[in-house]
Structure 1
Amino acid sequence: MENLIYLEYAVAGIIRYWLLNSDYKQTIGDRVEISTPLNSWRKVTEGAYLYNEGINPYVGDNFHETPLGLTVFDKMISHIPQWIGIIFIVCDLVTAHVLYHTAQIFMSELVEKDKYAKDTEALLLKQSDLVLPPVYVASAYLFNPYIIFSCVGQTTTVFANLCLAFTFLLMIKGHRLACCSVLALATLQSLYPATLLVPASIYLAQAERTSSLEGRQSLRASSFILTAVTFIAALLLLLYISSELAGGWEFLHATYGFILNVPDLRPNVGLFWYFFTEMFENFRLLFIYAFQINAALLYLVPLTLRLHGEPMLLAASLTALMAVFKSYPSLGDVGFYLALLPMWKHLFNYMQQGFVVGCFFLITSVMGPIVWHLWIYSRSANANFYFGVTLAFATAQIFLVTDILFAYIKREFSLYHGLHREVNGKTTKLVLE
C-alpha cells in the first residue's frame, strides 16, 4: 500500500511539473474559476514589486495578501524564482500526504463501540473497510483537476489548503497549541476558517480522558475555553507580527475589509459577484450582512448541535459550506473538501443524489469556460449565462453536502433502530425529505 501511495505522489508531481512548464500554464492561471483577487499569483508579484519600490502595497485596491504572506512571497520571488513552481508542487504533495495520515488516524478511530440493534451486523464496519479510504483521500486530492489547476495556476490557495490539512491532522491528534496556531494562520489568510475552531474544540475536548463523569464534564468545559483562548492568542500574535511588518494596521482594510465588503465584483465560481452587481447601492449593506452571516455563522450552531458527536464530519461540512458561500471562492477550495469525502465511504450506499451531483459537477465544469468565452470574447451571451452555470455549480455542492449528512443520519437511525421496520404490519422504508 505504501508503494502505491508513493507511486501516486510521483505521477501527480510529474503531471503538475509538465503543466507548469507547458503553454497551458498562463491560460490556467488566468481563469476566473482558478484565480481570484485574493489568491492570484499575479497580484502577489504586483504587491512584491510595490513593496520593493518602497510603496505601500495596501494603498489602493491592488494587493490583498497579509503582510506575513507578502514577506514570505517576496523572499521567494527575490531569492529563488526558479524554484517557485517546485515549491507549489511540493506543498500540494505534502497536503495530500497530510490528508492521507489524517484519514488513516480517523479510520483507526472509526470503530463501532455502541450497542446497536440486533439485525445491524451488515452495517457494522469491518477491518477491511478501513484500509482503502486513506488511499482514496490521497488520490482524490492528487488527481482532482480542480486541485491540479489551482497548483498549476500558482494560486495561494495551495498554501491555504496546506494549512487546513495540518489543522485537520493536528486536531485529530489532539495537539492543542499546534492545531490552534495553524488554524490561526489559516484564519489570518482568509478569515472564514475561524469557524473550524468549534469542531477543533470538540475534538480536543474528547481527546482528554478522566475517570469520573463529573470530572470529564468540567474538563471539557475548561478544554473549550482553553482552546478558544489559545486560538485567539495565536491569531492576535500573528496580527501583531503582521502590523509590525506592514508598519501599521492599514492591511486590515485591504485583507479582511476586502473579504467582508466584497468591493471587487469580477466573476468567480461564487454567488456574491452577480447579486452585488445587480444590487441597488441603498440595500448593499443589508445584503452584505445577510451573505456573510450565511457564509460564516448561519449553519454553525445547528450543525454543531447535530454533529457534536462527529467533529470530523462537522469540520468537513463547515469547510464545504465555506467553499460554497465565501465571498471569493475558487475551484481549489472545492477540491480540498471533495478529497475528504472518501473518509465516509461507508455512507455512500445511503446517498441518493450521487448521480445527479456528479452530472452537475461535470456539466458545469465544462460549460463554465464555454459560456465565459461566449460572454467575454464572442459577445453572444451575457452575465446571466455565466451566473446560471455558477449557480448550478453551487447547487450541486449543496446537494452533495446535504446528501452526505442525510446519509449519516439514516445510517445512524438504522444502527439504533434496526433494519427491519414495520408500520401497521407492513414493511416500511426510511426516506428523509
Structure 2
Amino acid sequence: MEIRHYWSMAVAAVGFRLVLVLFGGDLHLASRPEVSTPLTSLRRLAEGYWLKQVSMSPYSGSMYHGSPLLLSVLGPLTSKRSGGHHSHIYCSLVFVAVDFIAAMLIRSTGRTLQMARNRSLKSLDLTKSVNNSVNVSAGDTASLIYLWNPWTIITCVGSCTSPIENLMVVIMLHGACSRLAPLAAFGYVMATHLSLYPAILILPVALLLGYGPDTPPTKVFLQKGLSANKIDMSDNGKGTSQKGFGQFSWKPILHFILWVFIWSCYVLSLNSIILNKVGGLQEMFEKTYGFILTVKDLSPNIGVLW
C-alpha cells in the first residue's frame, strides 16, 4: 500500500530543492570540504573543462581529479551564466532531476523486494503472514527518506557531483535486486569509474544476483519440502520444486562479469576519445584513481573527510 500523499511529499522535496537553487543565493556550500571535495567539486570541474577548451590536458596541475565523461556532460553547463544566480545553477538543476530519478529507482527497488518477500512466503504456504503483514510500502518510505535527507539536499545544491555518483549506485542496486545483470553491471562500472569507492559493493551485488532478492534460508524450504512435496508455478508458468528456491546460481554472476567487461571497455573507449590530443588514459588513471588511493593533494583540507 502506498503512503498517503506520497506524491505531494515527493513534489515538495523537489520544490524545496528548486527554491534553494533558484532563490537561495550563494550558500557557500562549495567551499565546505565536507560537501565539495577535490573529487566532486564543480569548481574544479569547470577549471578542467576550461583547460580542455584551450587544448590542454584537464589534469594539468592539481585541480581536476574527476572523470572525463563529466567534463563532456557537465562542462558546457559550467560555462553558462544566469543573471542574478550563482554560476553553477544549471548543473544544480540537473542534480535536482538526478535526485528525483534516484528516488524513483529506490521506490521501484523497494517494491521489487516486497514482491519477492511475498512470493517467498506464499511458496511456504504462509499466505496468512502475507495478509497480516504491514502493508506500508518500504520503497515509498525509502524514497521519501532519500528525498528529504538533509545530506542529499545539501549535496544537490552544494555544487558537487555526488548526486550523479549516488544515482549510479542506486542503478547498480536496482539492477541487482531485479536480477538484471546488464543494468547492474552498468551501474557498477559507472559508479566505480566516477569515485572508485563503490568497488567494495561487488560482494553484496554478487549475493543479490546469485540468491535473488529477499530469499529465505534454504533450510526453511527443505523443512517445508519434507512435510509436503508440492510444486510451485513460477512466473513463466514452469513448474519448479520447492528445493529450487534459495539455491545459489552462478549464471547471473557470470553474466554480470561479462557485462562489466563490456561496459568497462566502452567507458574506457569514450574516455580515450574525449582525451584525444589533450592527455591520455594513463594520465587519467594517475590523476583520478591515483589521487583517490594516495591523496597527494590536501587542499582544501581533505584530511577533514578522514
Q: Do they superpose with TM above 0.5? A: yes
Distance 1:267 1:65 in 2: 15
Are 1:136 and 2:138 an aligned pair?
no
What percentage of residue pairs aligned between the two structures are identical? 25
Q: Number of residues paired by the alignment? A: 267
Are 1:226 and 2:262 an aligned pair?
no
Distance 2:275 2:39 in 1: 18
- Which SS does the other structure have where 2:28 is aligned? helix
Are 1:67 and 2:68 an aligned pair?
yes
- Which SS does the other structure have where 1:71 is aligned? helix
Are 1:242 and 2:271 an aligned pair?
yes
Contact 1:108 1:130 in 2 (8 A): no
Alignment of 1:22-421 (within 5 A): 22-23=23-24, 25-78=26-79, 83-111=90-118, 113=121, 128-207=133-212, 220-247=249-276, 248-249=280-281, 250-265=283-298, 266-267=301-302, 270-271=305-306
- Which SS does the other structure have where 1:220 is aligned? coil
Q: 1:25 to 1:140 in 2, by over 3 A?
A: farther
Equivalent residue letter for 1:60: G
Q: 1:219 to 1:9 in 2, by over 3 A?
A: closer
Q: CA RMSD in A?
A: 3.4
Structure 2's unaligned 5+ residue stretches are 82-87, 214-233
Q: Which protein has greater RCO, CA pairs closer than 8 Å, 6+ apart?
A: 2
Distance 2:6 2:245 in 1: 39
Contact 2:95 2:163 in 1 (8 A): yes
Contact 2:3 2:136 in 1 (8 A): no
Q: 1:127 to 1:239 in 2, by over 3 A?
A: farther
Contact 2:65 2:291 in 1 (8 A): yes
Distance 2:191 2:157 in 1: 21
- Which SS does the other structure have where 1:63 is aligned? coil
Contact 2:171 2:183 in 1 (8 A): no
Distance 2:102 2:184 in 1: 15
Deviation for aligned residue 1:182: 2.0
Distance 1:160 1:127 in 2: 38
Once structures 1 and 2 are overlaid, which stretch shifts more, 23-32 or 143-152? 23-32
Deviation for aligned residue 1:41: 1.0
- Which SS does the other structure have where 2:250 is aligned? helix
Distance 2:246 2:140 in 1: 36
TM-score by length of 1: 0.55
TM-score by length of 2: 0.76
Q: 1:224 to 1:13 in 2, by over 3 A?
A: closer
Contact 1:36 1:268 in 2 (8 A): no
Structure 1's unaligned 5+ residue stretches are 117-123, 272-433
- Which SS does the other structure have where 1:231 is aligned? helix
Q: 1:130 to 1:2 in 2, by over 3 A?
A: closer
Equivalent residue letter for 1:100: R
Contact 1:8 1:142 in 2 (8 A): no
| Residue of structure 2 in register with 1:277 after alignment | none
Equivalent residue letter for 2:305: G
